[in-house]
Amino acid sequence: MDRGKRTDMNRLMTELADGNRAAFHPIFVAAWPIVRGFCARFIGDVIEAEDAAQLALVKVFERAPTFREGSEAMTWILTIAAYECRTVRQKTRRRRELGDSTIALSMEKDAAASPERELIEREVRTTAAELFEGLAEVDKQVILTALEKGERPEGVSATAFRKRVQRAMDRLRFAKEKKHGDA
Amino acid sequence: MATLDFANLEQQSRGAYERTRLKRALRVLWVVVPVLLVSLCSCTTPHLSLGIGALLIAATVGFLWRGEALGRSVAPGLKAGIVAFSVPLAMHMLGYCCRYDIETITCVVAGVAAGAGVSFFASRVERDRSKLLLAGGVIAALTGSLGCVALGIGGSVGVVGGVMLVTVPFAAFSLARA
């Protein structure tokens, strides 16, 4: 984006923050391709990038009334987009991790196991045991409860349980990264 | 989030923008509601206070939500209005008004002072001066009326008249010059 367009964008954004609705459409038209391109580069996956770009744009306009005169509009917009991309990426990673663990557990429950499956199962168990080795007993219980039952124990609020699972998963991820050296 | 088409996304973004504006506009109630409560506690005609209070809430929230000159007029209007609200009320409570029978005069003077305050603020603004003056005048007059309602309906009329006495000619002058 050249200097002139940036200045225009700053002016339009200031006007929108002040309440001029006429500035909405030009900003929307100008910002959408930039945000979409930015999210595509940030995330890599086309579909996820599209989702993140949409969420980011809605957030941009949700926060537009708080835009301060003198700020750089494009930097401000892309900061929101980057935050949204990080959130989407984090969600995807968590979903993937939970999915992997669920597959591992469902394999345990499979009664008619072939020798090949048995071998894989043993390997998964060994890896899980190794990973769980470094974890505190409380964290193990929290993860197993979340994966097996899918519901929180009695007397623990939903928020507290979600936080506990999140912390336990973070520690598990850290242990995994330490062991395998992957990011 | 499901993939949206361009028009839907724009509509959703517009909704988010308007909701934030309204939420931010509602913050003015932290100032307006206490003023209304003081007015309700100090006057003998609560229905009149409630009516003026409702108008003031609608005007402040509406102006702030709409933004631009209307939104910018709320802060000076409220500041000037609070002066016009508190001076007659304080004089009434201290008994000066009743002793010297100067209720209406006090309210008119308070209104003129509030109008002058709004005009002073508007004089420093280049854009949409007349709009700002009129909107600020409305807010100041309504806020001042809440204080003067304790002095009777004449007090409220007096403060509105006082504000208009200053802001309307100034707005007309600004409009003519523009």
Provide the 10 A C-beta neighbour count for residue B59: 22
Q: For B103-139, how does the pLDDT look when each residue is reduced to its tens digit (9 = 90+)?
A: 778 888 888 998 999 889 888 887 888 888 899 999 9
ipTM: 0.79
Q: Which of B11, B13, B28 best tests the A interface by mutation, with the highest count of A CBs <10 A?
A: B13
In angstroms, how far is CA A97 from the centroid of its own chain? Answer: 12
Q: Is B67 left (phi over 0), alpha (psi -120 to 50) or beta?
A: left
Chain B 31-90, CB below 8 Å of chain A: which residues? 66-68, 70-72
Question: What mean pLDDT value characterizes chain B?
Answer: 85
Tell me whether residues A65 and B20 touch, CB distance under 8 A: yes
Sorting pLDDT into bands at 50, 70 and 90, what band is B15? Answer: very high
Chain B positions touching A60 (Cβ under 8 A) are 13
Chain A positions touching B21 (Cβ under 8 A) are 19, 65
From the CA of B61, how many Å to the nearest CA of chain A? 13
3-state secondary structure of B163: helix
Helix (H) or strand (E) holding B152: none
Q: For B24-53, how does the pLDDT look when each residue is reduced to its tens digit (9 = 90+)?
A: 999 999 999 999 998 888 877 788 889 999
| pTM for the full predicted model | 0.70
The residue of chain A nearest to residue B1, with distances taken between CA atoms, is: A51
From the CA of B87, how many Å to the nearest CA of chain A? 33
Buried b / exposed e over A159-170, threshold 16 CB at 10 Å, is eebeebbeebbe
Tell me the average pLDDT across A3-7: 82
Closest CA to B110 of B91, B124, B95: B91
Better-scored residue on pLDDT, B162 or B78: B78
Structure token pair of residue B167: 């802001």
Judge whether B16 is closer than 8 Å to chain A, CB to CB: yes
Distance CA B156, CA B178 (A): 32
Please count the residues of chain A. 183
Q: For A52-62, how does the pLDDT look when each residue is reduced to its tens digit (9 = 90+)?
A: 899 999 999 99
Instruction: For chain A, give the percent of residues with pLDDT over 90.
Output: 13
Distance CA B118, CA B129 (A): 11
Is the pLDDT reported for residue A183 higher than 90? Answer: no
CA distance from start to end of chain B: 49
Which residue in the set B14, B20, B70 is minimally distant from A24, CB to CB?
A: B14
Judge whether B11 is closer than 8 Å to chain A, CB to CB: no
Chain A positions touching B70 (Cβ under 8 A) are 19
Q: For A63-107, how does the pLDDT look when each residue is reduced to its tens digit (9 = 90+)?
A: 999 998 888 888 899 999 999 888 888 888 887 777 666 666 666
The residue type at B74:
V
B162 in Cβ contact with B109 (< 8 Å): yes
Q: Which of A58, A60, A63, A92 best tests the B interface by mutation, with the highest count of B CBs <10 A?
A: A58
Which residue in the set A32, A47, A64 is minimally distant from B17, CB to CB?
A: A64
B39 in Cβ contact with B53 (< 8 Å): yes
Instruction: For chain B, give the percent of residues with pLDDT over 70.
Output: 94
Tell me whether residues B68 and A20 touch, CB distance under 8 A: yes
Chain A positions touching B16 (Cβ under 8 A) are 58-59, 61-62
A-B CB pairs within 8 A amount to 57
